[in-house]
Structure 1
């Protein structure tokens, strides 16, 4: 209890430091009585003595278990799978429009890309049997399980389409295989975006809405680049259109994704991921414009455009991979993603 007495002459028996401060309300006010605001300042513009909270972890150690994936395996798997699926779709369009000079290299390119993509995945898994084990059951809630079955459904069709297209044998079977590969190709293109967004990696999980569209645009740009690189100039019209559409979707989705991620997009703006993303944007944009300018006239310009589009698509996948690895290594992004509201 307070021992102070209030008289006409003032307060007697005052004990400094032990009396309640008039107008104070516990921890809601500072020593000067000014109410603290959420921005770390008092109501009268004075700074508080307590620093703002920082997003960190115990001794700054990583919170998530660091991915052991190799960039060449996983980023290569993402890029090659997208190239394969989009190339099958472009091959079907070229075949339907009577452009065998474009359809044939796209079919062969799709088979080569999906073969290398599967090899990269198996190499990362360590043993081929692990891939076969994923086909023992069908688990709709697992993107990896669904993706394994998508690859199993797509790969043989892409192989038959490529072999019949190269040899000219069994044209009816070849057309059917081309149609099935085109039907399953979009799933091959986009399921990898769903797969990585289903992880706990902050930059990937936070972009679960945009990642499939980003991968679809990047894949379409790479397929258009393959067509520009290999098809005769007189038949590369669908390749130019596909490249332009894919580049627009890729670049536009990338901007929307980073804007919606907010502070979580920081890994895309620094370090190796930033350099790769800038290179991807320049190569993809330049390749699309060069492809449109090439038209059906300049073989050399079409070749340059195709190479730039393929390189830009690969750089996009490697940038996404590196940004994810950086966000998993820094506890700031992990804690921030848990404490902040959902982006967007």
Structure 2
């Protein structure tokens, strides 16, 4: 402080005023830079929070398309779901690249989201393929059932097998509607009974072989359809689990980013408030110092003039010499 006072005491008044204005400008620029830095940090947090929200929306959109795929069997819904998952994966990858190793928890969550969306996309592809195979199996089952039904209606000597076949058709419809495994068990039991009745019928061996082939074809198509249905259910459950895990990770990440955003906003406010108060105090201090340094020589000159007016010329010479040396 004393060094600053001595330095300013030896400057002309013009330089003192100019330096004072320069210091005020520097302080104003410093306040602006501090505010910009704080707002940039807050803006980054807000952007990250928006990106995590976009990830969650993309996964939810994929889930909606997945349900449409399972209900309607249209692979176009799978393509839409995969586009949404691709968007979620790219957004999560960009966040992971920008985050770096600074936050291990955030890195872990982003890695879980990226891995989950990739697995979810692979499962959608598998389900689409299985649904196509299931539809083919359904069509083959319908065809084989109609062929066997026509054979049973045309053959009067297979009354018992025909009655068992009708029960098998009811088991088939029950399984198609409910997926109840008991219907599948009853279907297999009735198949054995039907084939036993064919063996004991009055048909010749060629006729028996032909009817047995029709029953085998019908049963094989039904069992193939049942296997594809089971596989679809397994993949669906895995998709649900994967989607839930990805959504949970996304939701946790979003909450983390929102909390960080709020913290950055509060910190920005504190930094700007503290910087403003500090710069105002420094400005007041500089104003007081400059005023003191500028008015002090003038006050001394007035005192010297008053002494000269009273006839005391010795102090006047000393004061004027001092003012010339230090201020003019």
**TM-score, structure 2 length as denominator?**
0.31
Structure with greater contact order relative to length (CA < 8 Å, sep ≥ 6): 2
TM-score of the pair, normalised by structure 1: 0.30
| Higher helix proportion (structure 1 or 2) | 2
